[in-house]
């Protein structure tokens, strides 16, 4: 039986030296140990900039530890924790002593019929709404939609959000301590969308929630939302699928593959066992994030915002950066403070193998079993989740209704176009209250 527990709190992660300084302390066996970046370029001065100065574009990364994961002893913030025991996985393995980190807002009704489950995307976590503060390095990622007076009104609904199984913000994942007292690291098993959903059902059981009034997920969170509705139709009354799909496309697989390669090719990945070293694969994780971010925004937005403008006084003609390069560097660096490279691999893998039709006679057959009243939302400029994927969901789920967000921002439009998302979701939830 699932049980609530608390993990110890304490000081945050220690501050470490820069990537180069740390890298020098723990050189990987057999790797090229030549210095990188500006230091390397400065050792071999040239009368004119040449291709060797390309390393100038490598930005020094500072990290408090080899990982940006939340770990026991860190400030818990608003997290709570539920022990869900030994969890059988789709692979046939069993993940022992599993727990999920989660947050809640609002008050459960006596019948528990006002519960809403919010499922986060790839690098999200349980902090859906609320300010940044101790334990939460960033504000809630969907605070424009969840909170008092918003579409998902926390004065009305009991809102639940968990950090995904395999995550790095309090749930059992590669950075967690295994039963032998060491971080899981390279030994952590591969997970699927169905594994994550089964873990979340145990959380719902622990909270006494037999059925959710609404299950809503965006992007990878949408993968879990549709899996919830197919695996446990009796537990989902209303379903909102935002910027997502029934399976992963070849184009998405290609982008995911490149992100995986960026991480594992980092010489400080150490085959996933970097937690005892002074530094982890910060360059690889940063590059993975930069690659992903290009798929989250549209070409039109990037051209409009940045064009071919230079970054400050840097001259791209002789090895300097354009503004768009600096922008991607910025987002790469931001992620390092709150994420773990192994988790990125684990969760990306679950996205890659996602196919709601596997073992169910195909996607149409699986979608046809959904009994929840369903809303499908797509973004018209999304180049990661294509309109055809929204159409597949809409046509396959009985009675599903589709709405399109108009935005120049691409995939991230579901986060940026808050007014449109708010209006769409309000209409959908109002219909749920009115009944058939």
Active site residue ranges? 219, 382, 411
Q: Whole-angstrom Cα distance, residue 280 to residue 276?
A: 9
Show the CA angle centred on residue 307, arms to residues 306 and 310, nearest 5°.
75
Handedness of CA 393, 394, 395, 399 (dihedral sign): positive
Q: How many helices (H) and strands (E) does the chain have?
A: 13, 9
Measured CA distances, 414 to 214, 296, 302 (Å): 18, 10, 17
Query: For residue 259, how many other CB atoms are within 10 A of its CB?
Result: 22
- Return d(Cα 426, Cα 436) in angstroms, integer: 16
Q: Give me the DSSP letters along 369-431.
A: T--SEEEEEEETT-SSS-HHHHHHHHHHSTT-EEEEE--SSGGGHHHH-HHHHHHHHHHHHHH
User: Distance between CA atoms of 319 and 96, rounded to whole angstroms?
Assistant: 50
| CA quadruple 356, 358, 360, 365: dihedral sign | positive
Are 157 and 115 in contact by the 8 Å Cβ rule? The answer is yes
Residue in the structure block whose two tokens are 């949408």? 222
Cα 325-169-221 angle, rounded to 5 deg: 75
Tokens (6 digits) for 182: 């060491």
Q: Are 280 and 342 a contacting pair, CB within 8 Å? A: no
**């309109």: which residue's tokens?**
387
The span from the CA of 44 to the CA of 362, in Å, is 59
Give 155's Cβ-side CA count (13 Å radius): 4
Beta bridge partners of 4: 82
Q: Could you give the residue ranges of the DSSP H alpha helices within 120-213?
A: 193-206
Q: Are 213 and 108 in contact (CB under 8 A)?
A: no
Angle subtended by helix axes 282-296 and 250-264, to nearest 10: 160
Burial classification of residue 128, based on how many CB atoms lie within 10 Å of its CB (0-12 exposed, 13-18 middle, 19 or more buried): buried
């Amino acid at each position: 039986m699932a049980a609530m527990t608390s993990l110890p709190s304490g000081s945050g992660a220690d501050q470490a030296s820069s990537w180069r300084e740390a890298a020098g302390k723990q050189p990987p066996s057999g790797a090229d140990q030549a210095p990188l970046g500006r230091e390397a370029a400065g050792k071999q001065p040239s009368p004119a900039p040449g291709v060797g100065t390309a390393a100038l574009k490598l930005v020094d990364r500072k990290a408090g530890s080899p990982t940006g994961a939340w770990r026991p002893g860190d400030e818990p913030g608003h997290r709570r924790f539920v022990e869900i025991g030994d969890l059988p996985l789709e692979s046939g393995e069993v993940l022992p002593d599993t727990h999920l980190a989660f947050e809640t807002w609002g008050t459960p009704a006596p019948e528990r019929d006002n519960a809403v489950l919010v499922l986060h995307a790839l690098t999200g976590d349980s902090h859906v709404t609320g300010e940044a503060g101790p334990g939460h390095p960033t504000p809630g990622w969907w605070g424009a939609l969840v909170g008092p007076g918003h579409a998902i009104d926390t004065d009305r609904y009991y809102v639940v959000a968990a950090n995904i199984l395999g995550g790095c913000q309090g749930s059992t994942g590669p950075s967690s301590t295994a039963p032998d007292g060491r971080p899981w690291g390279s030994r952590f098993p591969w997970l699927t969308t169905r594994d994550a959903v089964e873990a979340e059902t145990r959380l719902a059981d622990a909270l006494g929630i037999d059925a959710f009034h609404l299950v809503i997920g965006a992007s990878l969170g949408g993968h879990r939302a549709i899996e919830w509705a197919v695996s446990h139709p009796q537990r989902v009354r209303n379903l909102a699928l935002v910027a997502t799909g029934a399976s992963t496309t070849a184009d998405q697989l290609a982008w995911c593959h490149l992100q995986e390669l960026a991480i594992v090719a980092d010489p400080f990945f150490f085959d996933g066992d970097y937690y005892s070293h002074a530094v982890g694969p910060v360059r690889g994780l940063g590059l993975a994030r930069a690659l992903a971010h290009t798929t989250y925004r549209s070409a039109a937005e990037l051209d409009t915002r940045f064009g071919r403008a230079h970054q400050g006084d840097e001259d791209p003609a002789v090895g300097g950066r354009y503004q768009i390069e600096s922008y991607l560097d910025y987002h790469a660096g931001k992620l390092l403070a709150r994420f773990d490279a192994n988790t990125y691999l684990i969760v990306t893998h679950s996205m890659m193998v996602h196919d709601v039709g596997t073992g169910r006679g195909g996607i149409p057959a699986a979608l046809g079993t959904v009994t929840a009243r369903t809303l499908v939302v797509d973004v018209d400029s999304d180049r990661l989740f294509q309109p055809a994927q929204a159409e597949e969901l809409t046509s396959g789920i009985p009675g599903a209704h589709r709405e399109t967000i108009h935005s120049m921002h691409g995939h991230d439009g579901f986060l940026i176009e808050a007014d449109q998302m708010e209006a769409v979701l309000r209409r959908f939830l109002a219909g749920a209250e009115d009944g058939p």
